[in-house]
Structure 1
Amino acid sequence: MSTEKKLENRLVSLDFFRGLVMFLLIAEFAHLFDVLMKSGNEQVTAVMDFMFHHVKWEGLHFWDLVQPFFMFIVGVSIPLSYANRKKKGDSESQIRNHALRRAFLLLLFGWGLYCIGPEKIIFQFDNVLAQLSFTYLISFLLLKQSSTVQIAAGFVCILISDLLYRFFPVVGFDQAFVAGENFGAWFNIFISGYEYGGHWAAFNALPTAAHTLWGVVAGKWLMENSTSTEKLKRILMAGIIALALGYGTTFFTPVIKRISTTSFVLLS
């Protein structure tokens, strides 16, 4: 099989998973899951509630995994896209400018969505587009680093966030895992002037950068000249290690998506 054919196959599989995530997001936007919950069947309602609604604070539902998955597959696509652009003859400056422009547009659109409802300019940055602008940019800037560096960078992002939550000294925001009383809430107020509904943290962009960085690593592994079985084993082993670490950290760090705790990032 030619290199072009193998690359095409990878992109098709990536597009499938990306399309699946987009379908789920559009279904939520269209309130499809809420309609199914009104079926009158208690079992269906319970399953739909567990599958397609976020945990109110601590815990993990299927729906809590959609954004991390999307950020991960964006990371997978970065080295593939870079290789395609180089193949087409794009210069390093052209590729860099394209990445910077994309990051800016993601931030602009993510921020703009919050201004539509209230019909005024507000500064809120906790949705997937705004957060992805940061994680995408960090991952692109580290694209040429080794996989070891990229994996380590992901852990550094998680560690910085974890330490800030645990040791933030401001009174009233020094309870690491209490809703509205932690570093994430303080950061929301600092950049926006108010705490966000649902206690989602804009600062999540830093720890969840690990998802995109590790996606880049997976993308590079997929591009290596090895068999599909070897690639699958490598990715599965990495996933098992992440799950083991994630479950291990639950003994001292609760799983909270809304502030992207260490345990949540590793498990997702």
Structure 2
Amino acid sequence: MSVVSTSPTEPAVLQPAPVKRLLSLDTLRGFDMFWIMGGEDIFGVLAKTTGWAWAILIADQFKHPEWNGFRAYDLIFPLFVFMAGVSTPFSIGSKLDKGDDKAQIARKIITRGLILVLLGIIYNNGLFVKAIQDTRFPSVLGRIGLAGMFAQLIYLYAQPRTRYIWFLGILLGYWAAMMLIPVPGCGAGVLTMECNLASYIDRILVPGHLYKTIHDPEGLFSTIPAIDNALLGIFAGSFLKAHGKTGNQKAIQLVAAGAVFILLGVLWNFIFPINKNLWTSSFVMVTGGLSLSLLGLFYWIIDVKGIKGWTFFFTIIGMNSILIYLAGEFIEFEYATHFFFGGLIKLISSGWVAAVLGVLGYLAVKWVFLYFLYKKKTFLRV
């Protein structure tokens, strides 16, 4: 891991980094990260302070379901995994085109994947060493690292047709395992938090403690299907990189493919429920379909139609997405928000305007921090 000063258009292998030919990808990454860094709180405070029905409806979409089901907030994580895949044909593909040694590329892929696992452990537990039983090892960054790592190794060593076989094999194999392999004391095909196969395997294999004691939403076994989100991103990136189709055709086909994936995922939901906690195969299909459609839409608007004036705000976030994710645990952005905006918020006194201003001030402080790093050409490279 390193914080380096480099060109903002230089692609990286695993850290989802800007790809020179796809401004849409960096914009979409920043759009995705915007909600994680506090954007969702805009609707939360509006719902709480006003009781407006539309605000409550939107705010509810920024909460995860208790177990089965899907809300917009569930897309943020798999979309990030998907985008790590999209950049692969441009970054690793360019290295292969130049004839770089595959073994050396593989070592870098594995190193970066494991560094993200380590960063995830630090994010969960802080910088100070804890007793192993008090340490949570699974993490969001860990899943991004492992899913991206295995997907990129498949891209590196497998032929295009074999990559599709891997995709289908993981999708169907996980479904078969979850439904057919019995869990002691529960039987086969039980998908409750207590009895599902993924949680059972995690309780046996994962050291330390799980997030929900008996289950971890970023557990080891349920990371396997997340590889398909990254592979789907690789397929999309390869499609966009290829010649022979116009930008309009590529955008339409991405959106159309996304619609097909969503439909198949919804149908699969009847026998294998859409569940983010278990990262079920139907969840992969729905989130993969939405990711394809969003990429197609952003690609059409930005790279095909050339409507780029609005992208700068999001690309500043997207260029340092992992850094701002980590920074929230170590930098007191709330203090800076109070310092710069506290007086104005007190002047307004109370109500929804003050509440929204507080959220916007918090977001502004984070964005200015990222803008400062951008001007210094400083980006976290993993």
The two structures have a TM-score, normalised by structure 1, of 0.85
2: distance between equivalents of 1:239 and 1:194? 37
User: In the alignment, which residue of structure 1 is the partner of 2:211?
Assistant: 196
- 1:214 aligns with 232
Q: Determine if contact 1:77/1:219 at 8 Å carries over to the other structure.
A: yes
- The answer to whether the aligner puts 1:39 opposite 2:53 as a matched pair is no
Shift of 1:100: 1.7
Give the residue type in structure 1 aligned to 2:276.
K
SS of residue matched to 1:23 = helix
Contact 1:180 1:199 in 2 (8 A): no
Q: Which amino acid aligns with 2:211?
A: Y
| 2:183 aligns with one of 157, 170, 175 | 170
* 1: CA distance, partners of 2:124 / 2:112: 19
Q: C-alpha displacement at 1:83, in angstroms?
A: 3.5
Q: CA deviation at 1:165?
A: 1.6
Kept in 1, the 8 Å contact 2:268–2:282? The answer is yes
Deviations, residues 117-168 of structure 1 (Å, cap 9, x unaligned): 9962445344321111211111111114344322331222122222222123
Counterpart residue number, 1:253: 272
User: Once the 2 structures are TM-superposed, how far is the Cα of residue 243 of structure 1 from its aligned partner?
Assistant: 1.7
Aligned 1:106-121 pairs, distance under 5 A: 106-116=116-126, 120=130, 121=132
CA deviation vs aligned residue, 1:216-263 (integer Å, no higher than 9, x gap): 011111110131122223322321221222122122121111101121
**Structure 2 match to 1:23:** 34
Give 2:223's aligned residue.
Answer: 205
- Structure 2 CA distance for aligned equivalents of residues 266 and 103 of structure 1: 24
Q: CA deviation at 1:195?
A: 4.6
Structure 2: 5+ residue stretches without partners: 1-18, 288-382
Change (3 A) 1:101 1:152: same
State the shift of 1:14 in Å. Answer: 0.9
The 8 Å contact of residues 90 and 237 in structure 2, kept in 1 or not, is answered as yes
- Identify the residue that residue 9 of structure 1 maps to in structure 2: 21
Distance change in 2, residues 1:155/1:111 (3 Å)? farther
Residue pair 1:151, 1:214 contacting (<8 A) in 2 also = no
Whether the 8 Å CA contact 1:245–1:266 is kept in 2: the answer is: yes
* Paired-residue identity, %: 26
1:231 is aligned to 250
Can you list the C-alpha shifts for 1:163-208, whole angstroms capped at 9, x where unaligned? Answer: 2221232323535221222112212211136553275251221011
Secondary structure of 1:8 counterpart: coil
1:244 match: 263
Once the two structures are TM-superposed, the CA of residue 88 in structure 1 deviates from its matched residue by: 7.6
Greater share of helix: 1
Contact 2:44 2:55 in 1 (8 A): no
**Residue of structure 2 aligned with 1:182, choices 177, 196, 199:** 196
Aligned partner letter, 1:71: V
User: 5+ unaligned residues in a row in structure 1: which ranges?
Assistant: 1-6
Structure ranking higher on relative contact order (CA contacts 8 Å, 6+ apart): 2
Q: For this pair of structures, how many residues does the alignment match?
A: 260
Supply the distance in 1 between the matched residues of 2:222 and 2:127 (Cα, whole angstroms): 23
Greater CA radius of gyration, 1 or 2?
Answer: 2
Q: Which residue of 2 aligns with 1:4?
A: none
- Distance in 2 (alpha carbons) for counterparts of 1:212 and 1:85: 19
Distance change in 2, residues 1:73/1:139 (3 Å): same
Structure 1 147/37 Cα, relative in aligned 2: closer, same or farther at 3 Å? farther
Preserved CA contact (<8 Å) 2:140 2:218: no
Pick closer, same or farther for the CA change 1:219–1:56 going to 2, 3 Å.
same
